[in-house]
Chain A
């Protein structure tokens, strides 16, 4: 408004005041714009957007040492842009206030973008470390600006997206701090263990080989040809078992006493891979080779031990050598500790859950074996089956038992009598597993339940009836039982079940459609107004069940696509990867989905470990308010991925 045009008698004092206030405001805004123009992203913003910012931004002073905002200050009312000075962001929280999370901000940097966007308290403490001036834009004006300025919107979105990466790193650091471990299991093997392993040719006499070991002061040798390709290892254990006790003359070539076909990994494999191999195969050394298979190093369990507080092999040995449940109970506790250390070292949820599964498998197998001492099934083909999350290799720290038995009665044998023997046996196993920290299944999905201790034909018949008549109960059972995996015994029986199942689903498209409809019953808890819906569970207000409304969505979709595309795997991530290839789903699309699933799983693991009380089963209920800013944003994105893949399923199966 121009004063000159308004100076007639019709302008009264009140109006003049408004006009002059307007002039003052626009001059102050001009001053602010001059500052904004020198800083990204404002220098790229349209003049009207800048004007809007400048006309609403207050200027406040924060002396050195004063807190600008923090978790206790209630919902964030302003977006702060530092005009001058220095501000430190520090992660608040009862668990860890550690040096790593301190971030220093200077002129032109803004905060707390996540909290002001979400309209909630800041999870960080922002402290002025120098005398600082900040522009502070009221939250409603900030949101209006995000909505109206594409440049500002992009800036805020990218900022939040870049947090995804940061969050993962912070999470790892956070745990690393607690475990006081610095090295990571993700380092490539090229940097671990011995780089110039002692090797001997296979025809070297034992005496010469032993002298070499003695001189070098090592406990093992690699046996390799002239091409440096390893054919075996010779260790002190071999010396005892195969030379001394076997009374082998010392002139015998070492090739006859060595352990042949050693386990090898390429240099770019990680320490984690080596550890996984040691746990899976019960070995002590992993040979490291280049791409052509030539030996370049040896990684021993001792090398990895420095990365680990609880030794992997000790646990394996303790499990394999256990003669009673008490010994296994200790091993189960060690598994938990080891898993935590791995979480600390930044092992992703995918590997971690597999890892827990691998050790839990070993534990379960030992329980199964120990009980076979009292129950003999010689001459009968049978297998112990794992269902549910165990069947999918997705166990977290607290997983119920879900198991069953499949058996093949010999010709003319009484099925009933045999079943009674298996049931009695299974009951013992179930009880022992419970004592080892695998709680009895509340739904009685256990091998000791006559319903789930079946002959191969009975299982086939059972699967067939669920698929032909997909009642709600049948669909529920399908989500548990179709994720089966043989843990012990004759794996061929399980494979026969799988082939039968895939053939059935391929010829019953209506069944998959019913499964799809079922899978779409639960939606991710994304609010239309709020970030998250936290009132879905009446018994737990303010919390989100990360299993029910999170990982299960992915798992259900993965199962359907796996069955539709004939994927034999039970692990959800493998299922989604393989099914995506077969169904021509773009790799980046499926990777984003897997990231989402992995993040939710990681949060579950974190929650179960950090918040689980000793001796009490951890749950999957998290309060999103207690998450830090980064994790909240990522969780939201993960739920969006869940919604995305549900939408795809909806389209593919024409479910409305």
Chain B
């Protein structure tokens, strides 16, 4: 664990990337992002959560990524993903491959998380430093969207646990791991989609727009 930072954030150009990662990265770059004009039911959303050693994406370490897809109205067990960086003691090339594997898994699908600055910040730094990639997926930020979709339940940005409490999903025994968190987020997200459709936000593109707008509005007003 002590040496992890060295491998995760080595800085500089990714000249040392192995051939297979380079090839995958090139292929990924030229791949098309899925259209976001489809209805939610036909859109593959990726719910993402991370584990980090602290809250500052600039200083702290990314320890794990958990992701699960939602499409056709359900969380799909066959389409889930988990990276545990802490097992990769001293293997830089393995870290590269796993980050690359996550890109392949995500396949440019819109990503859903709670607090994009936090999750996105860690991912962005990792991809920048390891793969030289400016990681900018289409984000849906639940932290901002929840209060605008569930005004009747809470009208400010609040910690995830509070939302879980409101919907009777809280009361967990101790700390949840990242996958448990992702699944809970996934469930909240399914509920949120129902509300969104009620507000004519019926495609991924509109949901991403709404997410941006709500975070902008709340931050600046």
Residues on A lying within 8 angstroms of B by beta carbon are: 3-4, 7, 9, 11-14, 16-17, 19-21, 23-25, 27-32, 54-61, 63, 84, 131, 133, 136
Contact = CB atoms under 8 A, between A and B. Distances in A.
A24 B67 contact: yes
Interface range on chain B: under 10, 10 to 19, 20 to 34, or 35 or more?
35 or more
A13 B100 contact: yes
Contact of B186 (A29, A59, A131): A59
Nearest to B105: A17
B74 A136 contact: yes
Interface in B51-85: 66-68, 73-84
A4 B86 CA distance: 11
Given A24-B66, A27-B80, 9 more contacts: A13-B97, A16-B98, A16-B101, A24-B80, A59-B183, A59-B187, A60-B74, A61-B187, A61-B190
B77 A9 contact: no
A60 B77 contact: no
Nearest to A57: B77
Nearest to B28: A13
Interface of B: 18, 20-21, 24, 66-68, 73-84, 87-88, 91, 93-94, 97-98, 100-102, 104-105, 167-169, 177, 179-180, 183, 186-187, 190-191, 194
B104 A55 contact: no
A13 to B, nearest CB: 4
A129 to B, nearest CB: 15
Given A24-B67, A25-B78, A28-B80, A7 B191 contact: no
A7 B66 contact: no
A625 to B, nearest CB: 27
A274 to B, nearest CB: 56
B81 A24 contact: yes
Contacts of B105: 17, 20-21
Contacts of B80: 21, 24-25, 27-28
B73 A20 contact: no
Nearest to B91: A7
A60 B78 CA distance: 14
B87 A3 contact: yes
B82 A12 contact: no
Nearest to B104: A17
A4 B66 contact: no
A27 B82 contact: yes
A58 B74 contact: yes
Given A7-B88, A20-B83, A13 B74 contact: no
A637 to B, nearest CB: 34
B79 to A, nearest CB: 8
Nearest to B100: A13
Nearest to A12: B20
A61 B191 contact: yes
Given A20-B105, A24-B179, A29 B77 contact: yes
Contacts of B191: 61, 63, 131
B81 A20 contact: yes
13 contacts: A3-B84, A13-B97, A16-B97, A19-B101, A21-B80, A25-B80, A27-B80, A27-B179, A29-B77, A56-B78, A58-B77, A59-B75, A136-B74
Contacts of A131: 167, 191
Given A12-B20, A21-B105, A25-B80, A60 B180 contact: no
Contacts of B66: 24, 27
A58 B81 contact: no
A4 B100 CA distance: 17
A39 to B, nearest CB: 17
Contact of A31 (B20, B168, B169, B179): B179
Contacts of A57: 77
Contact of A25 (B77, B83, B101, B180): B77
Nearest to B67: A24
A9 B102 CA distance: 18
Contact of A28 (B68, B74, B83, B104): B68
- 6 nearest interchain CB pairs? A24-B80, A61-B190, A58-B74, A17-B101, A27-B179, A60-B74
Contacts of A17: 101-102, 104-105
A14 B104 contact: yes
A20 B102 contact: yes
Nearest to B23: A13
Contacts of A60: 73-75, 190
Contacts of B168: 84
Contacts of A133: 187, 190
A58 B80 CA distance: 11
Contacts of A19: 101
A84 B67 CA distance: 22
A27 B182 CA distance: 11
Nearest to B197: A63
Given A4-B87, A24-B67, A27-B80, A59 B74 contact: yes
A11 B97 contact: yes
A340 to B, nearest CB: 45
Nearest to A26: B82
Contacts of A21: 79-81, 105
Nearest to B193: A61
Contacts of B100: 13, 16
B88 A55 contact: no
Nearest to A19: B101
A136 B20 CA distance: 38
A20 B79 CA distance: 10
Contacts of A63: 191, 194
A17 B88 CA distance: 15
Nearest to A29: B77
A64 B179 CA distance: 27
Contacts of B93: 7, 9
A54 B187 CA distance: 16
B176 to A, nearest CB: 9
B81 to A, nearest CB: 4
A183 to B, nearest CB: 44
A236 B191 CA distance: 75
A136 B77 CA distance: 11
Nearest to A85: B168
Contacts of A56: 77-78
B101 A20 contact: yes
B188 to A, nearest CB: 9
Contacts of A25: 77-78, 80
B68 A58 contact: no
A145 to B, nearest CB: 14
Contacts of A4: 87-88
B115 to A, nearest CB: 21
Contacts of B179: 24, 27-28, 30-31
Contact of B180 (A3, A9, A16, A31): A31
Nearest to B98: A16
